[in-house]
């Protein structure tokens, strides 16, 4: 399916403590609203979208698709983002564009010959991660998104024998370990690039739309990568009974 010139989409990311929404066209970002202060997304996401459309004086009816981060990330955050995107998609009869969280994070970078590695803190010394290359405007997958221990990730990165740029909320948790164990000195994305941004979700979403990577709003399901803590605890409880 081909995107039209001037196509306009709404992009949403609530996969972490960051809540971010954007209105994106093929040649520009019309508006982007990002907040990272740990306020519950259920309180912020819809008001942010409403405020952004009001300030930009753009009608929701002018949107042709909704790009949503599909995971991994916070279970609660992904569910809230999913419910929001699905609700709007069904109400406006719009398709959804699934954009993997890690791919959108990597797409914050541009024109680098280094590997790009998003790391999201998944607790218990685990990380949601992937490895990517930015070639022109294209994102190439070196290591697909996965949930692994930080030690296993570092071992894999050292095998590539290349410099690595890290992005994500895993940096504070794993920065010291990376400095001590990476073959090359790790590079950390600057503040304006090191967290989720709906502008990147939208830009990558436009590319995926043109490739036909869309889904019906009613069919969309987030990819959590692993079971929630509550599910794991319940399984452990049942096993011990």
Q: What is the pLDDT of residues 2-32, one digit of tens each?
A: 444 479 999 999 999 999 999 999 999 999 9
Say which CATH number the domain at 132 has: 3.30.420.200
Give the residues across from 166 on adjacent strands: 117, 188
Confidence at residue 232, expressed as pLDDT on a 0 to 100 scale: 42
Tell whether 21 and 83 lie within a shared domain: yes
Q: Is 217 a domain residue?
A: yes
In a domain, 13, yes or no: yes
Shared domain for 90 and 129, answered yes or no, is no
SS3 182: coil
pLDDT of the residue at 38: 77
Residues 128 and 18 in one domain: no
The answer as to whether 70 is a domain residue is: yes
Reading the block at residue 194, the tokens are: 């090191």
Q: Give a yes or no: residue 166 inside a domain.
A: yes
Q: What is the pLDDT of residues 175-184, one digit of tens each?
A: 999 999 999 9
Residues 28 and 83 reside in one and the same domain: yes
Is residue 113 situated within a structural domain? Answer: yes
Instruction: Give domain status of residue 75, yes or no.
Output: yes
Beta bridge partners of 131: 143
Tell whether 14 and 64 lie within a shared domain.
yes
Q: For 56-82, how does the pLDDT look when each residue is reduced to its tens digit (9 = 90+)?
A: 999 999 999 999 999 999 999 999 999
- Residue 85 belongs to domain with CATH number: 3.30.420.40
Instruction: Give the ranges where the chain is alpha helix by DSSP (H).
Output: 41-56, 75-92, 101-106, 150-160, 171-181, 198-210, 229-240
Mean pLDDT of 213-225: 95
Q: Which residue has the tokens 């982007």?
A: 32
Inside any domain, residue 3 = no
Strand, coil or helix: 10: strand
The whole-number pLDDT of residue 236 equals 53
Give yes or no for residue 237 having a pLDDT over 60.
Answer: no
Q: Give, as one character, the DSSP assignment of residue 170.
A: T
What distance in Å separates the CA atoms of residue 218 and residue 95, rounded to the nearest whole number?
Answer: 9
Q: What is the reported pLDDT for 227? A: 57
Q: Assess whether 13 and 58 both reside in one domain.
A: yes
Among 140, 163, 188, identify where a domain stops.
188
The pTM of this model reads 0.91
Q: For residues 24-44, b (16+ Cβ closer than 10 Å) or e, as one string? A: beeeebbbbbbeeeeeebeeb
pLDDT at 161 over 90: yes
Let me know whether 146 and 117 are in one domain.
Answer: yes
Say if residue 210 is in the same domain as residue 97. Answer: yes
Q: Is residue 47 a part of any domain in this protein? A: yes
> Per-residue pLDDT for 203 more than 60?
yes
**How confident is residue 40, by pLDDT bands cut at 50, 70 and 90?**
confident
Q: Are residues 61 and 167 in the same domain?
A: no
Same domain, 31 and 50: yes
Indicate whether 94 and 18 sit together in one domain.
Answer: yes
Q: Are residues 170 and 217 in the same domain?
A: no
Q: Give the pLDDT confidence score for residue 225 in this predicted structure.
A: 85
- Quickly tell me which residue has 């294209």 as its tokens: 138
- The whole-number pLDDT of residue 93 equals 97
Compute the residue count for the chain: 241
Q: What is the model's pLDDT at position 37? A: 87
Residue 135's pLDDT is what?
A: 94
Number of domains observed in the structure of the chain: 2
* Percent of the chain clearing pLDDT 70 (strictly above): 91
Residue range(s) defining the domain that contains residue 126: 109-188
Q: What is the pLDDT of residues 111-157, one digit of tens each?
A: 999 999 999 999 889 999 999 999 988 999 999 999 999 999 999 99
């Amino acid at each position: 399916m081909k995107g039209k010139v001037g196509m306009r989409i709404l992009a949403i990311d609530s996969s972490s403590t960051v809540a971010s929404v954007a209105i994106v066209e093929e040649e520009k970002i019309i508006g982007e609203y990002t907040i990272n202060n740990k306020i519950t997304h259920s309180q912020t996401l819809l008001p942010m979208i409403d405020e952004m459309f009001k300030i930009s004086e753009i009608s929701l009816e002018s949107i042709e698709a909704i790009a949503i981060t599909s995971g991994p990330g916070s279970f609660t955050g992904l569910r809230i983002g999913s419910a929001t995107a699905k609700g709007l998609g069904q109400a406006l009869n719009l398709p959804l564009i699934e954009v993997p969280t890690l791919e959108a994070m990597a797409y914050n970078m541009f024109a680098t010959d280094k590997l790009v590695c998003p790391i999201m803190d998944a607790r218990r010394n685990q990380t949601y991660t992937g490895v990517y290359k930015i070639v022109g405007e294209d994102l190439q997958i070196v290591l697909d998104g996965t949930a692994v221990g930080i030690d296993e990730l570092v071992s894999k990165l050292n095998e590539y024998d290349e410099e690595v740029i890290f992005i994500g909320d895993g940096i504070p948790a794993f920065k010291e370990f990376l400095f001590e164990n990476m073959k090359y000195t790790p590079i950390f994305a600057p503040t304006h690039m090191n967290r989720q941004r709906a502008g990147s979700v939208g830009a990558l979403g436009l590319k995926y739309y043109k490739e036909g990577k869309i889904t019906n709003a009613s069919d969309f399901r987030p990819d959590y990568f692993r079971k929630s803590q509550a599910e794991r605890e319940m399984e452990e409880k049942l096993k011990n009974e």
